[in-house]
Amino acid sequence: MAVTSQPGRYPASDFQTGLCDFCDDCGTCCYGLWCFPCLSCTIAGDMDECCLCGLSMAIRSVYRTRYNINGSLCSDFMANSCCLVCATCQLKRDIDRRKEQGIF
């Protein structure tokens, strides 16, 4: 029998906002556009990781695995390669929403 989902306490889901949903949180969008390294360090800090990890696709993969979000290493790579700022802002929006929901 093939395993089709990752183990975890969260049901499989998608990110809570889309990759290009800039208007959902204009503050995060501006933060990412004008001070991208700072946003990356904020995300790494939220996840108790090294500040430099916020700039890599690894942090997205770790987050996706932790919260059982649909995707793959390939999709993480493509999101970060094609639009690093968009992917990073999406990750921060998702973290903030999970904090509001009390599940971060």
Rounded to whole angstroms, the Cα distance separating 2 from 53 reads: 32
Q: Record the tokens describing residue 19, joined without a space.
A: 């990759």
pLDDT reported for residue 23: 86
Phi first, then psi, for residue 31 (nearest 5°) are -60, -45
Domain boundaries, the chain: 26-101
User: How far from 47 is each of 22, 57, 58, CA to CA, in Å?
Assistant: 22, 14, 12
Predicted model pTM: 0.86
Residues 6+ apart with CB under 8 A from 50: 44
> Which class for 103: exposed (0-12), middle (13-18), buried (19 or more C-beta within 10 A)?
exposed
pLDDT tens sequence across 42-100: 999 999 998 877 778 889 999 999 999 999 999 999 999 999 999 999 999 999 999 99
pLDDT reported for residue 50: 87
Rounded to whole angstroms, the Cα distance separating 55 from 88 reads: 8
pLDDT reported for residue 57: 87
> Which class for 17: exposed (0-12), middle (13-18), buried (19 or more C-beta within 10 A)?
buried
| Residue-level length of the chain | 104
The whole-number average pLDDT for the span 2-25 is 77
